[in-house]
Amino acid sequence: MLPPQVIVVENAWLAKIAALKMGSQRVAMVVGRRIYLWGVNKADFLQQPAWVKHELAHVAQYQRYGVVKFLILYVFEWIKNGYYNNRFEVEARAAEQVP
């Protein structure tokens, strides 16, 4: 289900920080071609197609803009519109529904 260039990292400290910030037990977050997980292992993550599609949408966004530009755009979107209405999150949620 994952493209070969995408790497999944379990028990990632970066995802743990995001989980604490978001008040969530389980988090997946993407930087470049890596999906960092906290509170969920790779096998369980891969059994949830909508979640995988969401994170792969972020991988595609990084590919589209490049790492530095994407991170800058994402932070500005988050400041301007919050997490939920951030256009990159809106796009990733829409990707969850793609068959």
Mean pLDDT confidence for 21-29: 96
pLDDT at 62: 99
Residues 6+ apart with CB under 8 A from 26: 19, 37, 38, 39, 40
The predicted model scores a pTM of: 0.94
Q: Are 51 and 26 in contact (CB under 8 A)?
A: no
pLDDT at 45: 98
Confidence bin at 68 (pLDDT 50/70/90): very high
Q: Is the pLDDT of residue 1 over 80?
A: no
Strand runs labelled E in 10-65: 27-31, 34-38
pLDDT at 55: 99
